[in-house]
Amino acid sequence: MAAKKQRINNQIRIPEVRLIDELGEQRGVVPTQEALRIAMEAGLDLVEVAPNANPPVCKILDFGKFKYEQEKKLREARKNQTQIKLKEIRMQPKIEKHDLEFKTKHITDFLAEGNKVKVTIRFRGRELAHTELGRAVLERVLEMLTANEVGYNLDRSPLMEGRFMSMIISPAKSSKK
């Protein structure tokens, strides 16, 4: 017994709906006009909850309060989300030991905050002929992170992109806040 939909003046009219009252109890299948009357008597709105069901499911509730609570849930869900940012650290293949340690400390801090880090080596002029030096610097960074017992995952291994060689590191699952 499918509910037949009638088209009257470009409006779809449904003869009967499955009704849920304001207390959340099922009233069963009732004519649409009666459902509207029950909602008006209660001083509430008749809201279509499941339009694709057969017959459609309608609920009697305060629509303004319903929308407010939905928005409140959305705000709460957004507040609990953590956004992971991609931080970038740039170096050169001829970096000194102290500078490398200093930048590695920044990488450690970024990973501790739960951010991903893109470590980039910039090659200038003739340095481009010796990309193995840049790869060695990136490997030293990984060794220093391992030595400092920093939990990380290597998302993208060192890769050349034009005049730059870069890798992406993300925090290990256990070190995220």
- Domains belonging to the chain, first-starting first, are 12-63 (3.10.20.80), 86-175 (3.30.110.10)
Residue 67, number of CB atoms within 10 A of its CB:
11
What's the number of CA atoms in the CB half-sphere (13 Å) around residue 27? 20
What's the pLDDT score for residue 177? 44
What's the pLDDT score for residue 8? 45
What's the pLDDT score for residue 174? 61
Q: What angle do CA 35, 38, 44 make, to 5 degrees?
A: 105
Residue 122, number of CB atoms within 10 A of its CB:
14
| Rounded mean pLDDT for each run of 10 residues along the chain, 177 residues in total | 48 82 89 90 89 90 90 88 86 93 94 92 92 93 90 90 94 64
Residue with tokens 């992406």: 168
What's the pLDDT score for residue 4? 53
What's the pLDDT score for residue 101? 94
